[in-house]
Amino acid sequence: MSTLIAQNIQSSTSEPPVFKNSSGTEKGQLVKAWGTFDGTATVGKLSTFNFSSITDLGVGYYTLSFENNMPDTNYAIAGNAIKGDSNDDGNQILQAGGSNINPQLNVGSFNVRTKVASNNNSIDCDIFHVIVIR
């Protein structure tokens, strides 16, 4: 078994590197975007990769825009939300991508909703995290 040690890995195309086995079968790709966001009154990016902006659409509703678009809308989003207050209502949910009725996965952005698990009400969370994989 060999170990690759490198400071930089550069793709030979405009696409990110793909990990393949010795037969050339794809085994994995890199995360396309990740971010930690402030969802309170002054929304903003705390630390991100490949996100250009966050737009506040109302209490608990946001649009996250990519710096570099996805090639299509077939990507997966995962994340979590944190509400730090004295109510100890800690079970916050991050809902990403809209709903079946109103899908909001676009190549350049997607919508996120943060809500309270116990009653499904939208809420501005202190911090929420997302990762995007395709």
pLDDT along the chain (134 residues), means of 10: 87 83 88 92 91 93 94 91 65 75 80 86 90 92
Note the pTM of the prediction, 2 decimals: 0.82
In this prediction, residue 40 carries a pLDDT of 87
* Mean pLDDT across the chain: 86
Q: Identify whether 24 is part of a domain.
A: no
Q: Identify whether 126 is part of a domain.
A: yes
- 63: three-class secondary structure by DSSP: strand
Q: Identify whether 54 is part of a domain.
A: yes
Number of domains in the chain: 1
Q: Identify whether 79 is part of a domain.
A: yes
**Amino acid in position 71:** P
Q: Identify whether 56 is part of a domain.
A: yes
Q: Which of 17, 12, 11, 13 is nearest to 29 (CA)?
A: 17
Q: Which of 23, 37, 16 is nearest to 127 (CA)?
A: 37
In this prediction, residue 99 carries a pLDDT of 56
With the CA atoms of 107, 132, 50 and 15 taken in that order, what torsion angle do they form, in degrees rounded to the nearest 10?
-70
Range of the domain at 92: 31-133
Find the DSSP H helices in 61-113.
Answer: none
DSSP annotation of 5 reads -
Buried b (16+ CB within 10 A) or exposed e, 75-102: bebebebebeeeeeeeebbbbbbeeeee
DSSP annotation of 22 reads T
Q: Identify whether 71 is part of a domain.
A: yes
Q: Identify whether 9 is part of a domain.
A: no
Q: Identify whether 68 is part of a domain.
A: yes
CA distances from 8 to 2, 11, 76, 80 (A): 17, 10, 26, 30
Tens digits of residue pLDDT in 9-36: 888 887 778 889 999 998 888 899 999 9
